[in-house]
Amino acid sequence: QSALTQPASVSGSPGQSITISCTGTSSDVGGFNFVSWYQQHPGKAPKLMIYDVSYRPSGVSDRFSGSKSGNTASLTISGLQTEDEADYYCSSYARSSTLWLFGGGTKLTVL
């Protein structure tokens, strides 16, 4: 099963908002509210930022929000800060033998 589709890169200026999309199918993103988002800084382990489409774990800034429409989930970061510069990966449960799918990752550059 193919990975979920994310844009390779997005950029924004400090204080602005950006949105990263994650497109799947009705067998994964569109069929279930089990989308999660991970932040990965260079040389570091991924960190859970959003789970179940729109929920934030304790300790994650409320500048991060998630949503979903049809087969596409989105991560929005408002009030961009330089420390937000990182790679972001979406993930979803998949109704197949590949239980978890990841997106290809999106590199966020804060200009």
Partner 1 sequence: EVQLVQSGAEVKQPGESLRISCEGSEYRFTNYWIAWVRQMPGKGLEWMGIIYPDDSETRYSPAFQGQVTISVDKSISTAYLQWSSLTASDTAMYYCARRGYTFGEVYWYFDLWGRGTLVTVSS
Q: How far is the CB of 43 from partner 1 (least distance, A)?
A: 9
Q: How far is the CB of 25 from partner 1 (least distance, A)?
A: 16
> Collapsing DSSP states into helix, strand and coil, what is residue 86?
strand
Q: How far is the CB of 70 from partner 1 (least distance, A)?
A: 19
Our CA dihedral for 30, 52, 3, 62, rounded to 10 degrees, sits at 120
Under the rule (CB under 8 A), what is the footprint of partner 1?
3, 32, 34, 36, 38, 44-48, 51-52, 57, 89, 91-93, 97-105
Q: Which is nearer to partner 1, 40 or 78 (CB)?
A: 40
Measured between alpha carbons, how far is 14 from 6 in angstroms, rounded to an integer?
A: 22
Sign, CA dihedral 59-36-69-86, equals: positive
Q: Which is nearer to partner 1, 100 or 111 (CB)?
A: 100
